[in-house]
A and B are shown apart, each in its own frame.
Chain A
Amino acid sequence: MIQNHKKGEVLEIAVFGAGQKHICGVVWRSTSQNIVLAHNFSGIKPIDISIIGKDDIVKEKTVIPLEINKADDLIKIA
């Protein structure tokens, strides 16, 4: 499991919940207990986030999103 999440990194995470679910997003903040993933940005402002407890993470991996419209500055803005 990745211990240090870098801001701007795109992650796909499997978490425990009501059944297992998969969440993807850009790392916005990370503490020892939680990780904040941003899914949607208005300009540079995140407008949709998920706060995930690190204890709930079953599996995680870094992904490189496919771009259909040069959203390559996603990393830059995060």
Chain B
Amino acid sequence: MGISFAFDIPICYFENMKIYALKYKEACYFKRKVKQLNKKFKFVEHVCLGYLKIKNDCLVVSFEQKNDKQPVRGLIIPRSSIILKPKIKAKKHIDIEKIKTGDKVEIFWKDISYFEEGIKNINSSLMITTGELFLKNSEAVILKNTQTIKVGEKIRRHPERKISFCAIPQTVIYNIKTY
């Protein structure tokens, strides 16, 4: 049985502004169908290193900070993206059993965001991806013929180039609608 950990990390576990090394997983995009898009699909683990600051459901990892400890450049990572330990499963918010291959779906999820001139708001990026369910496994939902938009002050397409497949980690998904 998986232990729900990613959303239940006690704040006291972290020491603010110390240097941490974090492993996380991130959604990925493909221009065309590639070999790795199969049932055994796994996300490439990312590792980042920086001064850690915790805010709401996000972790701010800054690679650069000013003398007054204000972050200059770094990443805002939703807690649900963090890989804590091998074999510890992060909590999933939605039940993906009900969706089937070929279903047209709209997925609401949280993405990692990059900043390089300081941060105004510490919030994870909210994303909406629409497309057709290509496949799902224990860790990913993969859509084809997708379009992703980033919801914020300005709604914009993400990524800007045209992509055909999008793999989203299940732990960062907070809602799925079929249409």
A-to-B contact residues, CB < 8 Å: 10, 12, 19-26, 39-43, 47-48, 50, 63, 65-74, 77
Does B50 count as interface, using CB distance less than 8 angstroms? yes
Contacts of A19 in B (CB 8 A): 66-67
Residue of B nearest to A23 (CB): B64
Interface of A is mostly: strand
Contacts of B11 in A (CB 8 A): none
Residue of B nearest to A37 (CB): B63
A25 with B66: CB separation less than 8 A: no
Does B49 count as interface, using CB distance less than 8 angstroms? yes
Q: Report B76-90 CB contacts with A as 1/0, cut-off 8 Å.
A: 000000111110000
B46 with A68: CB separation less than 8 A: no
Contacts of A12 in B (CB 8 A): 19
List the count of A-B residue pairs having beta carbons below 8 Å apart.
93
B14 with A68: CB separation less than 8 A: yes
B19 with A24: CB separation less than 8 A: yes
Residue of B nearest to A65 (CB): B21
If A67-B20, A68-B14 touch, does A40 touch B64 (CB 8 Å cutoff)?
no
B-to-A contact residues, CB < 8 Å: 9, 13-15, 18-23, 44-51, 63-67, 72, 74-75, 82-86
Which one of A10, A21, A69 lies within 8 Å of B49 (CB-CB)? Answer: A10
Contacts of A67 in B (CB 8 A): 20-21
Residue of A nearest to B116 (CB): A48
B84 with A65: CB separation less than 8 A: no
- Docked CA distance A67–B18 (Å): 11
Instruction: Give min CB distance, A39 to chain B, whole Å.
Output: 4
Contacts of B47 in A (CB 8 A): 40-41, 71, 73-74, 77
9 closest residue pairs by CB, A with B: A71-B21, A39-B63, A65-B21, A40-B48, A41-B47, A69-B84, A43-B44, A69-B23, A65-B19
